[in-house]
Amino acid sequence: MSNTDMRPSLPYKLNENQLALEAAIMELSNWVEARGSADVAVDVRGALDTIDRNEELIKLILAVLKSRN
């Protein structure tokens, strides 16, 4: 596979990794909260909100990139 062939898949894989990290961090947040650290869990979920807010724009950009290939 040439570098040119790999380039379009990079943004999709980065987005996939981002979503996987979000899911893993949410699981850790739930675990922390279940052990009595609700304030930490709230802080973590607040940070995860950034991922949620950016997700639509990322999907839009990925769609545009896909349409160009």
> Where do the domains of the chain lie?
3-68
pLDDT at 3: 62
Short-list 8, 16, 23, CA closest to 58: 16
- The letter for the amino acid at 1 is M
SS3 of the chain = CCHHHHCCHHHHHHHHHHHHHHHHHHHHHHHHHHCCCHHHHHHHHHHHHHHHHHHHHHHHHHHHHHHHC
Prediction pTM value: 0.69
Per-residue pLDDT at 5 exceeds 80: no
Per-residue pLDDT at 67 exceeds 90: no
pLDDT at 65: 80
Distance, in Å, from the CA atom of 23 to the CA atom of 26, rounded to the nearest integer, reads: 5
pLDDT tens profile 8-64: 678 888 888 988 999 999 999 999 999 999 999 999 999 999 888 888 888 888 888
